[in-house]
């Protein structure tokens, strides 16, 4: 008999919990992807969402993205019932996409907000970039920068962590609200 992988079980619960929040009107799901990378045999599920009303005047637009990944070693170890890795499971990363103008000040503020919500648990990184359009005159420094904020928990999860997924979503929604202010 076929038994779903740890990845599949977690994905179903995560996706259902996110769509429950969408159905309740707390968030608006904007995109989802369920991918298999056959070059390295890795699975990836990601779902993007934002606050339903978007960014009101004077507030920052922020989008969240949950990413759930598993690797060949985890999949093979589970299917063969032989541990090929230290712990069979999946990794979760949460990304926030927004814009900043004052790079030094706003990125520090973002870390403070996220640490207050998440309790210094995930490792936070920010990637600042600027879009340069070949059809427009180069203006440097730009007025606004794109900011990709990543929360990485640096550990694998399995079915024993399914109960924590709703808390992760709750914290992500609170983060969306606070980061947009």
> How far is it, in rounded angstroms, from Cα 150 to Cα 126?
6
- Asked whether 48 and 61 are in contact (CB, 8 A), the reply is no
Could you report the per-residue pLDDT of 30-50, keeping only the tens digit for each?
999 999 999 999 999 999 999
Q: What is the pLDDT of residue 133?
A: 80
Could you report the per-residue pLDDT of 1-20, keeping only the tens digit for each?
467 899 999 999 999 999 99
Q: Could you list the residue range(s) of the whole structural domain that residue 117 is in?
A: 6-56+63-180
Split into its structural domains, the chain has a count of 1
Q: What is the pLDDT of residue 1?
A: 44
For residue 23, being part of any structural domain is answered with yes
> How far is it, in rounded angstroms, from Cα 97 to Cα 159?
28
Q: Which of 19, 33, 118 is nearest to 67 (CA)?
A: 33
> How far is it, in rounded angstroms, from Cα 175 to Cα 49?
12
For residue 169, being part of any structural domain is answered with yes
At residue 150 the predicted structure's pLDDT band, cuts being 50, 70 and 90, is very high
At residue 60 the predicted structure's pLDDT band, cuts being 50, 70 and 90, is confident
> How far is it, in rounded angstroms, from Cα 38 to Cα 113?
38
For residue 174, being part of any structural domain is answered with yes
> How far is it, in rounded angstroms, from Cα 119 to Cα 117?
6
Give residue 13's Cα distance to chain centre: 15
Residues 6+ apart with CB under 8 A from 124: 111, 114, 115, 149, 150, 151
Which secondary structure element, helix H or strand E, spans residue 145, and what is its range? strand 145-157
> How far is it, in rounded angstroms, from Cα 83 to Cα 34?
25
For residue 43, being part of any structural domain is answered with yes
For residue 103, being part of any structural domain is answered with yes
For residue 77, being part of any structural domain is answered with yes
Q: What is the pLDDT of residue 57?
A: 65
Q: What is the mean pLDDT of the chain?
A: 92
- Asked whether 110 and 127 are in contact (CB, 8 A), the reply is no
For residue 157, being part of any structural domain is answered with yes
Q: What is the pLDDT of residue 18?
A: 98
For residue 1, being part of any structural domain is answered with no
């Amino acid at each position: 008999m076929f038994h779903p992988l740890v990845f599949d079980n977690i994905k179903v619960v995560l996706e259902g919990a996110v769509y429950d929040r969408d159905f309740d009107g707390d968030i608006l799901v904007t995109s989802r992807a369920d991918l298999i990378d056959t070059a390295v045999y890795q699975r990836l599920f990601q779902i993007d969402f934002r606050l339903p009303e978007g960014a009101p005047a004077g507030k920052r637009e922020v989008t969240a993205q949950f990413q759930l990944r598993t690797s060949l070693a985890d999949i093979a170890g589970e299917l063969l019932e032989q541990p090929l890795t230290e712990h069979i499971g999946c990794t979760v990363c949460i990304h926030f996409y927004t814009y900043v103008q004052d790079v030094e000040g706003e990125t520090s503020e973002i870390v403070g907000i996220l640490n207050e919500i998440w309790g210094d648990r995930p490792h936070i990184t920010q990637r600042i970039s600027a879009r340069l359009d070949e059809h427009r005159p180069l203006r440097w420094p730009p007025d606004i920068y794109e900011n990709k904020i990543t929360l990485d928990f640096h550990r694998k999860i399995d079915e024993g962590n399914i109960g924590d997924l709703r808390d992760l979503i709750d914290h992500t929604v609170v983060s969306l609200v606070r980061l947009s202010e």
